[in-house]
Amino acid sequence: MNIIWLGHGSFRIEIEDQVVLVDPWLTGNPMLPENQHKAAITGATQILVTHAHFDHIADVVQISKDTGAPLSGMYELAMHLHAQGAVEGAMFNMGGTIALGDKVSASMVPASHSSTAAVDGVQRYMGTESGFILRGEGHCIYISGDTGLMADMAWIGDYYKPDIGILSAGGHFTMDMDMAAYATRTYFNFNVVIPCHYRTMPMLEQSAEALINGVLPGTSVLEPQVMEAITL
């Protein structure tokens, strides 16, 4: 399994026979050079969206059209994006689980954030923000999406028992590194933690040092590098 950071909150996850893009942001993403945009999305078979902010959905309709990858996410948001021309995937909601191919599943779990998009020049709510549990190749991955620290992490950790955490941890808009470390040691038993939604801009945290120093022994914090695969 390869987990490939596209910068900010965007990932390419190659798992089983699927290539899953999570919130793929290309246009205007300061961390992903334009000459790597094609490689970032080539072969995509699925697109998952966590919420409607521009830095998560700006390119998803065009990517879906270009790759043929169906787009799945929160009911209202997915409906909106399908109406814009994205290939229809699943419109689902909290607690729901969908199949991605024959061997991979995605379950929707809560996040604590907001979810709006501009429609005809007016900001509209697009359903509730979310995270995902992705399962395949014997792994269970918790993708937090943009979120603050929240009590729901207790049951997410206890029920799904994820071994890998992809956590928003840049602060300002989401948890910071210290909060992500607290969540990791309090609510989860991860083998591996991968921080994201940081380093994109000056207002966000630039280092994962507080997360690295704050997790319990036995938990590995892997700082991702853009377009470099973390193979697990």
Q: What is the pLDDT of residues 39-92, one digit of tens each?
A: 999 999 999 999 999 999 999 999 999 999 999 999 999 999 999 999 999 999
Mean pLDDT taken over the chain: 97
pLDDT of residue 148: 98
Sign of torsion, CA 217 219 224 230? Answer: positive
Mean per-residue pLDDT, 112-135? 94
Q: How confident is the model at residue 32 (pLDDT cuts 50, 70, 90)?
A: very high
Taking the alpha carbons at both ends of the chain, their separation in whole angstroms is 5
Answer yes or no: is pLDDT of 121 > 90: no
Per-residue pLDDT reduced to its tens digit, 172-181: 999 999 999 9
Instruction: Quote the tokens at residue 230.
Output: 């973390």
The one-character DSSP state at 89 is E
Answer yes or no: is pLDDT of 11 > 90: yes
pLDDT of residue 5: 98
Nearest-angstrom CA–CA distance, 101 and 46: 9
Nearest-angstrom CA–CA distance, 145 and 51: 8
Mean per-residue pLDDT, 111-125? 92
Q: How confident is the model at residue 33 (pLDDT cuts 50, 70, 90)?
A: very high
Phi-psi region of 186 (alpha: psi -120 to 50; beta: other; left: phi over 0): alpha
Nearest-angstrom CA–CA distance, 223 and 218: 16
Q: Do 23 and 9 touch, CB atoms closer than 8 A?
A: yes
This model's pTM is above 0.75? yes
Q: How confident is the model at residue 120 (pLDDT cuts 50, 70, 90)?
A: confident
